[in-house]
Amino acid sequence: MLQLAVLRSNPQEVKQRLAVRNFKEPELVDAIISLDDERKKLTFQFDETKAKINAASKQIGGLMAKGNKEEAEEKKKEVEGFKNTLGPVEEALAKAEKELNELLVRLPNLPSSKVPKGTSPDDNEVVRTGGGKPQLYSGAVPHWELAKKYDLIDFELGNKITGSGFPVYKGKGAKLQRSLIQCFLDYNTSAGYTEYMPPFMVNEASAYGTGQLPDKEGQMYHVTEDNLYLIPTAEVPVTNIYRDEILKAAELPVRMTAYTPCFRREAGSYGKDVRGLNRLHQFDKVEIVQLVHPDKSYDTLEEMVTHVEKLLQTLGLHYRILRLCGGDMGFTSALTYDFEVWSAAQERWLEVSSVSNFESYQTNRMKIRFKDENNKTQLVHSLNGSSLALPRILACLLENNQDENGIKLPVVLQSYFGSEMI
């Protein structure tokens, strides 16, 4: 959630930056400022009336002690009048604060000056590419056929047990999945990230804190009986570990990593893009999250991009890094880099990671703060990234490394899997 001080300091600049996102309701900025003025006026009235009540109440005690009962009774009537005035003011103030919050959460994060203009994925900027593009042998097939041939993943069984988008990994497929998870976690912890194993469901406050509510409730699975949400990513529970906390400057940066399954309804998805592992309702992912000093968040973003890039290099995959344009960015992000890996058998790019700087947008919602060197309380900046999402990584590893004899695994995975080949 954007800070009111940011909106009030330069509303015109806020509107210009929101225009980079193609935001359709710039008038919300003026409505928020107007409502905030009303809230301030009501707050002043409330505080002033409370002060009058307190002052008069003290006078009553003094008058009673002196035996001036008549004057004391008059003061009591005066206090009663103030209290009658206070009720409607308090009610109007609560209403203004509620409406103000409802308007604020409709505003997306302000894009960084580095965000390119654009309306669709076609306008994203390719920052760089890496890794050699694989040349497949003549009998190469897509991963869903390889999964069947080597008995690694059973899509039909998943459909029987749950439904489409819930595959069953089995045998060497399950072992390879587990090997990837452990490899990614070891890579992250060796870089200074602390591993967590969080819950896979969160409450409303946690989903609100990272921006899934009220923006993406239609994409989450909702356990209605207990009003809990299955997590769409480990970012949600992990970032909320520090909700309502005040850190010391010396404790920054906070680096966290976690493996979790992720649950997404993916409403409206259909067609060739959802075949096999391309788009699932349940998938595994290893996430990295950082909470950092505001002055260092963009350096940290580049550091996290390099971290994910090196992991892709160890897997020997052909990849590219995109800087997302304003029209393709997530609601809460200030700047996002997407990583895509080349699927040789499908001859297309598949997204495998997003690394984003949210600046203070999430931490303002969650009230994650720190005391700076002057003992002043400030909001930290939050960042997160996939390191990595498994389904499409697995798809590309199977497709890009196949030959007549089987599937050759990258060297980094061989010790985890216990073999060089499937």
Tokens of 413: 């995975």
Closest CA to 389 of 340, 349, 347: 340
The C-alpha atoms of residue 398 and residue 143 are separated, in whole angstroms, by: 6
**Beta-strand relationship, 194-196 and 254-263:** parallel
Region 250-257: what's the mean pLDDT?
Answer: 97
- Kind and range of the H or E element at 42? helix 27-66
Region 195-204: what's the mean pLDDT?
Answer: 98
Which amino acid is located at 25 in the chain?
A: E
Answer yes or no: is 266 a known binding residue: yes
Answer yes or no: is 351 a known binding residue: yes
pLDDT band at 45 (very low <50, low <70, confident <90, very high): very high
Region 197-210: what's the mean pLDDT?
Answer: 98
Closest CA to 317 of 339, 341, 337: 341
**pLDDT at position 272 over 80:** no
**pLDDT at position 269 over 80:** no
Residues 384 and 211 sit within 8 Å (Cβ to Cβ): no
**pLDDT at position 375 over 80:** yes
Structural domains of the chain sorted by starting position, each given as residue range(s) with its CATH number in brackets:
4-104 (1.10.287.40), 121-417 (3.30.930.10)
Q: Read out DSSP for 233-267?
A: STHHHHHGGGTT-EEEGGGPPEEEEEEEEEE---T
The C-alpha atoms of residue 235 and residue 210 are separated, in whole angstroms, by: 8
Instruction: Tell me the pLDDT tens digit for each residue of 1-38.
Output: 999 999 999 999 999 999 999 999 999 999 999 999 99
Answer yes or no: is 287 a known binding residue: yes
Residues 6+ apart with CB under 8 A from 228: 201, 202, 203, 222
Least confident residue range of 1-5, 109-113, 212-216, 357-361: 212-216
pLDDT band at 74 (very low <50, low <70, confident <90, very high): confident
Answer yes or no: is 353 a known binding residue: yes
Indicate the SS3 state at residue 218. helix
Indicate the SS3 state at residue 283. strand
Instruction: Tell me the pLDDT tens digit for each residue of 157-167.
Output: 999 999 999 99
Region 245-260: what's the mean pLDDT?
Answer: 97
- Report residue 262 CA to chain centroid gap: 13
Cis peptide before 388 (omega within 30 of 0): yes
Between residues 373 and 291, which one has the greater pLDDT? 291
Answer yes or no: is 387 a known binding residue: no
Tokens of 143: 């991963």
Answer yes or no: is 399 a known binding residue: no
- Output the pTM of the full model: 0.94
Answer yes or no: is 54 a known binding residue: no
- Report residue 71 CA to chain centroid gap: 61
Task: Determine whether 78 is exposed, middle or buried from the number of CB atoms within 10 Å of its CB (0-12, 13-18, 19+).
Answer: middle
Instruction: Tell me the pLDDT tens digit for each residue of 317-352.
Output: 999 999 999 999 999 999 999 999 999 999 999 999
Tokens of 200: 């896979």
Closest CA to 304 of 351, 340, 331, 337: 337
**pLDDT at position 271 over 60:** no
Task: Determine whether 350 is exposed, middle or buried from the number of CB atoms within 10 Å of its CB (0-12, 13-18, 19+).
Answer: buried
The C-alpha atoms of residue 5 and residue 117 are separated, in whole angstroms, by: 26
Residues 6+ apart with CB under 8 A from 268: none
The C-alpha atoms of residue 340 and residue 309 are separated, in whole angstroms, by: 10
pLDDT for position 323: 98
Answer yes or no: is 233 a known binding residue: yes
Answer yes or no: is 39 a known binding residue: no
Q: Please list, residue by residue across 83-94, b when 16 or more beta carbons sit within 10 angstroms of its beta carbon and e when fewer do.
A: eeebeebeebbe
Answer yes or no: is 354 a known binding residue: yes
The C-alpha atoms of residue 374 and residue 323 are separated, in whole angstroms, by: 36
**pLDDT at position 202 over 70:** yes
The C-alpha atoms of residue 231 and residue 207 are separated, in whole angstroms, by: 8
Tokens of 407: 């599937």
Closest CA to 330 of 267, 385, 399, 251: 385
If you average pLDDT over every residue of the chain, what do you get? 95
